[in-house]
Amino acid sequence: MKLCKRIVAALVIAAMLALCVPAFAAGPEYPEVPEGYDGYITFSVSAITMGWTYIIDPMLVPVHEGETFAAVTARVFDELGWAYTYSGTVEEGFYLTGVGCYETEPMVPEYLMNEILAYPAWAEEEFEYSFGEWTGTFTDDEILSASEYCTLSGWMFLEDDESASVGADALVVTPGKAYTWIFTIYGWGMDYGVSDGWGMFPAFDNPMEGVSRTEAHIALAQICADEELMETALDVAGDELIDFLTALYDPESSQELIDSTLAALLAALYPAETIPGDVNGDGKVSSADVLLIMRYSMGLEELEASALENADLNGDGVVDFADALLVARSIN
Ligand SMILES: [Ca+2]
Ligand SMILES: [Ca+2]
Ligand SMILES: [Ca+2]
């Protein structure tokens, strides 16, 4: 009994001290980098504000050291045999003007179309000039080009979630980052929430503002690059995959929805191993697990259902100090 008290006292102190418990979550990874390359970037082409999801879904692309985004872009389109047009050269003044796309029926979300339609009147008032209106006109050449549908539409690119301040020919890519070409139809990236429209467009309540898709892009590209993992996803996580893609493709998705659907997909792909006593799910039973049970007992920690199941070592349906002691004793 004395020993128990001493253990409990020590555990309580340790639990108080352990304010931060690292989380161990399995997830997709980058494949081996091919010979002669520096690492992978995630590349995608998005037209979600047109209602057309992604023209090229997030994919991993191995990149050379010092390679510019213009060079990577030209290489990807060439390797895929994908139509594209640009002005300047890949080395200098590269400006993407069109990307192969079969869609012709815009499905612009209502909140955005309302802004576009309201804009000419605002611009006339502010600048005594009218530009940026929705015309809906396009050339049916299976290329989505700048100034189609909207007089100020065009191609821009993002490095992670930032619109770059230099041209694609001047930006050296960084392995591990996500690069996205976006077809903007309002405020030079304002529709994607990545620009203030240079003060020339009125601010509006934009659901894309502050929402990052970078982590989702990279995870999706990693899953797609792994044939076995992709098969598993279709096999055991079809619903989760669809929910995640639906969230990713919808410009009105909140960060919370994108994050939670990704977490659900990863949880389905990497089911946690159930080891009695392993509360933090790192695959082993250690003092960290004892601390977690202590902290939970003291109301300092919340635990997921699977963690609670592993924590209830004596199986009485309650996670308390008795379980902490049992787990502590099971550690040598
Ligand atoms: Ca066209
Ligand atoms: Ca553990
Ligand atoms: Ca118990």
Ligand number nearest to the C-alpha of 22: 2
Q: Using the 8-state DSSP alphabet, how is residue 283 labeled?
A: S
Ligand number nearest to the C-alpha of 313: 3
Same-domain status, 132 and 244 = yes
Q: Using the 8-state DSSP alphabet, how is residue 175 labeled?
A: T
Confidence at residue 13, expressed as pLDDT on a 0 to 100 scale: 63
Alpha-carbon distances of 183 from 44, 55, 170, 321, rounded to whole Å: 11, 10, 20, 57
CA–centroid distance, residue 6 to ligand 3 (Å): 20
Domain that holds residue 319: 2-26+274-330
CA–centroid distance, residue 321 to ligand 2 (Å): 17
Confidence band for 165, pLDDT divided at 50, 70 and 90: confident
Q: Is the dihedral of CA 305, 306, 310, 313 positive or negative?
A: positive
177, 154 Cβ separation under 8 angstroms:
no
In whole angstroms, give the CA distance from residue 98 to residue 87.
10
71, 77 Cβ separation under 8 angstroms:
no
Ligand number nearest to the C-alpha of 183: 1
Ligand number nearest to the C-alpha of 85: 1
Structure tokens at 301: 């920690």
List, for residues 211-259, the tens digit of each pLDDT value.
999 999 999 999 999 999 999 999 999 999 999 999 999 999 999 999 9
301 closest CA partner among 27, 23, 10: 23
Written as one letter, the residue type at 182 is I
Same-domain status, 260 and 288 = no
Look up the CATH number of the domain holding residue 242: 2.170.130.30
CA–centroid distance, residue 278 to ligand 3 (Å): 14
Number of domains in the chain: 2
Same-domain status, 224 and 137 = yes
CA–centroid distance, residue 324 to ligand 3 (Å): 9
pTM greater than the 0.85 cutoff: no
CA–centroid distance, residue 237 to ligand 2 (Å): 26
Q: Please tell me which of 1-5, 45-49, 282-286 the model is most confident about, judged by mean pLDDT.
A: 45-49
Same-domain status, 175 and 246 = yes
Look up the CATH number of the domain holding residue 12: 1.10.1330.10
Confidence band for 127, pLDDT divided at 50, 70 and 90: confident
Confidence band for 21, pLDDT divided at 50, 70 and 90: very low
Ligand number nearest to the C-alpha of 297: 3
Ligand number nearest to the C-alpha of 100: 1
Same-domain status, 255 and 288 = no
Q: What is the mean pLDDT of residues 322-330?
A: 94
